[in-house]
Structure 1
Amino acid sequence: MSDTTLDVRELPPAERHPKIHSAFDDLESGEALTILNDHDPKPLFYEMQAEVDAFDADNYAVEQRGPAEFAATFPKK
């Protein structure tokens, strides 16, 4: 599985979800997008689960690496 990493911590909040969705759309089936964020991206998980058919919610993973660093992996079916 190929993995693309996108650090959105420096982006204004209004720009984060559109950039993440665009990067996810660019993935091939079987690849994954890992985002680095300053908070747990649980709202994004629910958004992807509800709106993106290609999102593999069963294999989603999130790891807190520090007080303001979360790495969340969004696999594509």
Structure 2
Amino acid sequence: MAETKLDVREIPPAERHPKIHAAFDELESGEALTIVNDHEPKPLFYEMQAEKEEFDAENYTVERRTPTEFLATFPKK
């Protein structure tokens, strides 16, 4: 599976979700977007689940690497 990585920790919070949505929209079916975030992106998970029919919520993963580094992978159907 091809993967795109986006570090959003330096992006102002109000701009994060639009950038993540845009990056996800650019993916082809079967690819995934991995974001590096400073907190667990649970609200983003629910947002993607509600708004993106092509989001593969069953294969979503999140890994806490440090207290301020989370890797969350959003696969596209």
Please list every run of 5 or more consecutive structure 1 residues that lacks an aligned counterpart in the other structure.
none
The residue number in structure 1 matching 2:60 is: 60
Alignment root-mean-square deviation, CA = 0.3
TM-score normalised per structure 1? 0.99
**2:13 is the counterpart of 1:13:** yes
What is the distance in 2 between the residues matched to 1:42 and 1:62? 9
Paired positions, count: 77
TM-score normalised per structure 2? 0.99
Percent identical across equivalent pairs?
78
Q: CA deviation at 1:69?
A: 0.2
Moved over 4 A (4+): none
Which one-letter code corresponds to 1:53 in the other structure? E
What is the distance in 1 between the residues matched to 2:51 and 2:14? 18
What is the distance in 2 between the residues matched to 1:44 and 1:67? 18
